[in-house]
């Protein structure tokens, strides 16, 4: 990458991809799950950090661990299931068994191990050296040192707070299932796309025309804005466009009751109004660098599998304390646009395919990111522009460049 443009090799080069795993996914904070997925002692889920398999567990004392899913004997994975509940993980290769905090119980046929050669304490499952959570979102870092999770989140935390504060009980949960899609393209295409306000009027035109929503949200006359929040995080904030609809809802009797309940819980009527006008994440799309997005009512997690292969997991979330009717409505709204046959998600995958085809052209080497460059507004670490501008992408690649090395 150079000033405000990205070289095509950033999406195609095998060596760069390997460096991304090392310099980004193995060094910064990566989202690995939600506390509700490991709510009870013994609960676990499997996922990956970069391409390294891990197990997120809650032990018998309530502690959360991120264990490397690799037997310390001969390297086989010790857990195959996507999720479950167990106090132990057993490697099926040679039978070694580990507690859900990573401790090795004992090797099988232990008489064959002399004390001078072997100590069970030295063969615990490896673990992520740092694990922390924010508003229920669990992150892990494979680097033993560095900035704290709260420092890493920076201003992205403001939008996470808006997301979670809307729930009547002040917490969200995953439990409605998930769906996964993959595409034959680089992971950064999805990270860019979720906070790209330039494409919806074109890529999702059919949805806008048939849904009756109109395309003004992302049109030239929109009052929405695109922002780079620092540290690679970014947002499309279109609350100014959705606020009139939300204010109309607040003017109803049901709206006033919702406002009073939320104001009582938050202890601040002005904050309660702000949260309700944001309508959870219906008023913005958030990217938490490098690969978590909070969009609509979903947590979207992007997994780089190869330089030209990406898997994406979508987890619709529910509001704790809300009724079944409200949570069901959230799921139906999610499915209508982002589901496998939704009005928007499949469109984006088609564009990724076309980008990959176009990147095969060798005579045009650079992808420009200059839209709105001359009209951005600087606000501390953040830089803001029109909702169709490319502040989010410039901020993402500025952080990418910082972590990959300035020579890229």
Domain count, the chain: 2
| Measured distance CA(258)–CA(273) in Å, rounded | 10
| Measured distance CA(232)–CA(32) in Å, rounded | 18
Q: From 120, 142, 164, give the residue that closes a domain.
A: 142
For position 208, what pLDDT does the model report? 82
**Beta partners for 235?**
227, 286
Select the more confidently predicted residue: 283 or 407.
283
Residue 209 sits in the same domain as residue 95: no
- pLDDT tens-digit series, residues 220-235: 999 999 999 999 999 9
214 pLDDT more than 80: no
257 pLDDT more than 80: yes
Residue 368, domain member (yes or no): yes
206 pLDDT more than 80: yes
Closest CA to 320 of 30, 35, 32: 35
DSSP string, 209-222: HHHS--SGGGSTT-
Assigned token pair, 166: 């809307």
Residue 130 sits in the same domain as residue 33: yes
Residue 338 sits in the same domain as residue 257: yes
Residue 351 sits in the same domain as residue 288: yes
Residue 78 sits in the same domain as residue 217: no
Residue 274 sits in the same domain as residue 327: yes
- Tally: H helices and E strands in the chain: 12, 22
Q: Sheet harboring 52-58: ordered strands across? A: 64-68, 52-58, 43-49, 83-85
Per-residue H/E/C for 332-354: HHHHHHHCCCCCCHHHHHHHHHH
Q: How far is CA 228 from the centre of its chain?
A: 16
Cis amide prior to 350 (ω within 30 degrees): no
**Beta partners for 384?**
227, 377
| Measured distance CA(377)–CA(88) in Å, rounded | 53
278 pLDDT more than 60: yes
What average pLDDT does this structure show over 169-178?
Answer: 93
What average pLDDT does this structure show over 18-33?
Answer: 97
Residue 227 sits in the same domain as residue 115: no
Residue 120 sits in the same domain as residue 221: no
Give the pLDDT band of residue 406 (cuts 50, 70, 90): low
Sign of CA dihedral 171, 177, 183, 186: positive
Q: From 142, 163, 178, give the residue that closes a domain.
A: 142
Residue 359, domain member (yes or no): yes
Cis amide prior to 290 (ω within 30 degrees): yes
Are 88 and 41 within 8 A, CB to CB?
no
| Measured distance CA(236)–CA(295) in Å, rounded | 10
Range of the domain at 95: 29-142
Residue 287 sits in the same domain as residue 393: yes
58 pLDDT more than 70: yes
Percent of the chain residues topping a pLDDT of 70? 97
Residue 45 sits in the same domain as residue 76: yes
Residue 236 sits in the same domain as residue 91: no
Assigned token pair, 181: 């899609």
Are 205 and 215 within 8 A, CB to CB?
yes
CATH number of the structural domain spanning residue 362: 3.90.380.10
CATH number of the structural domain spanning residue 76: 2.102.10.10
Residue 125, domain member (yes or no): yes
Residue 294, domain member (yes or no): yes
Residue 81 sits in the same domain as residue 187: no
Closest CA to 271 of 406, 389, 162: 162
- pLDDT tens-digit series, residues 79-128: 999 999 999 999 999 999 999 999 999 899 999 999 999 999 999 999 99
**Beta partners for 49?**
52
| Measured distance CA(369)–CA(397) in Å, rounded | 10
Are 77 and 53 within 8 A, CB to CB?
yes
């Amino acid at each position: 990458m150079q000033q405000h443009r990205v070289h095509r090799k950033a999406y195609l080069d095998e060596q760069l991809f390997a460096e991304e795993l090392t310099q980004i996914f193995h060094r910064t904070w990566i989202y690995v799950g939600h506390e509700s997925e490991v709510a009870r002692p013994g609960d676990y889920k499997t996922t990956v950090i970069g391409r390294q398999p891990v197990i997120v567990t809650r032990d018998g004392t309530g502690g959360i661990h991120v264990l490397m899913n690799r037997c310390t004997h001969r390297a086989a994975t010790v857990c195959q299931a996507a999720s479950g509940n167990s106090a132990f993980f057993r490697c099926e290769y040679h039978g070694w068994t580990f507690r859900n905090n990573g401790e090795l119980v004992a090797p099988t046929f232990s008489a064959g191990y002399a004390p001078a050669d072997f100590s069970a304490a030295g063969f615990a499952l490896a673990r992520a050296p740092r694990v922390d959570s924010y508003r229920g979102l669990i992150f892990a870092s494979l680097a033993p040192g560095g900035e704290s999770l709260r420092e890493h989140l920076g201003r992205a935390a403001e939008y996470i707070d808006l997301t979670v504060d809307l729930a009547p009980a002040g917490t969200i949960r995953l439990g409605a299932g998930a769906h996964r899609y993959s595409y034959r393209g680089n992971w950064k295409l999805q990270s860019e796309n979720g906070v790209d306000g330039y494409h919806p009027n074109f890529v999702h035109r059919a949805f806008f025309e048939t849904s009756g929503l109109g395309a003004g949200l992302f049109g030239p006359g929109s009052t929405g804005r695109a922002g780079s929040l620092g540290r690679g995080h970014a947002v499309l904030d279109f609350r100014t466009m959705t606020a009139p609809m939300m204010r109309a809802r607040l003017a109803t009797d049901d709206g006033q009751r919702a406002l009073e309940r939320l104001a009582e819980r938050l202890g601040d009527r002005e904050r309660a109004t702000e949260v309700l006008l944001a309508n959870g994440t219906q008023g913005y799309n958030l990217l938490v660098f490098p690969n978590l997005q909070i969009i609509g009512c979903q947590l979207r997690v992007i997994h780089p599998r190869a330089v030209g292969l990406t898997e994406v997991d979508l987890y619709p979330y529910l509001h704790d304390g809300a009724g079944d009717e409200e949570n069901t409505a959230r799921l139906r709204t999610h499915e209508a646009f982002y589901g496998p046959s939704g009005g928007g998600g499949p469109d984006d995958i088609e564009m990724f395919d076309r980008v990959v085809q176009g990147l095969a052209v060798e005579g045009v080497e650079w992808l420009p990111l200059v839209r709105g460059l001359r009209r951005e507004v600087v606000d501390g670490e953040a830089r803001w522009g029109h909702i169709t501008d490319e502040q989010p992408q410039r901020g993402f690649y500025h952080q990418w460049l910082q972590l990959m090395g300035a020579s890229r």
